[in-house]
């Protein structure tokens, strides 16, 4: 199994949960914009710190299982997990919340 196939599993689950949240009409434009900004920040941090850790030799990837696209020293597959998290976690939050837009009602 290559890393791309493994990432596809995570991304499909995240996309399915986001689709359910979207079909229930709970994802507002403002909420989606905030998630997009968070995604951009997480991807930037992933690019910086994964490159630092790979360059320092803290971990490496088997080149036989990579697509070959790199951002610095980090393989493109390394960016699937932040994308999955940025899609999945807000979607779950919206689905589990009591009020519109993901904010939980105060009791």
Owning domain of residue 52 = 3-99
Residue 105 confidence (pLDDT)? 45
- Three-state DSSP class for 74? strand
**Inside any domain, residue 106:** no
Domain count, the chain: 1
Kindly report the pTM of this predicted structure: 0.77
Closest to 90 measured CA to CA, from 40, 42, 37, 31: 31
Residue 107 forms part of a structural domain: no
The answer to whether residue 49 is domain-embedded is yes
41 within domain boundaries = yes
Does residue 105 fall inside a structural domain?
no
pLDDT digits (tens, 9 = 90+) for 68-98: 889 998 999 989 999 999 999 988 988 888 5
**Which DSSP letter does residue 49 get?**
H
Closest CA to 53 of 81, 75, 83: 75
Please report whether residue 50 resides in a domain.
Answer: yes
Overall average pLDDT of the 25-48 stretch = 89
pLDDT higher than 90, residue 3: no
Determine the pLDDT at residue 107. Answer: 41
Report, as an integer, the average pLDDT of 16-25.
88
Alpha helix locations (H) across 1-107? 3-23, 29-55, 80-96
> For residues 37 and 18, what is the distance between their CA atoms, to the nearest angstrom?
17
The residue-averaged pLDDT of 13-39 equals: 87
């Amino acid at each position: 199994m290559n890393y791309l196939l493994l990432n596809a599993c995570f991304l499909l689950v995240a996309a399915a949960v986001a689709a359910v949240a979207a079909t229930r009409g709970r994802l507002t434009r403002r909420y989606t914009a905030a998630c997009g900004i968070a995604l951009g920040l997480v991807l930037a941090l992933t690019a910086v710190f994964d490159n630092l850790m790979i360059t320092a030799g803290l971990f490496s990837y088997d080149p036989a299982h990579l697509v070959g696209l790199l951002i610095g020293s980090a393989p493109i597959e390394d960016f699937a997990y932040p994308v999955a998290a940025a899609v999945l976690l807000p979607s779950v939050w919206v689905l589990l919340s009591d009020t519109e837009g993901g904010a939980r009602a105060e009791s």
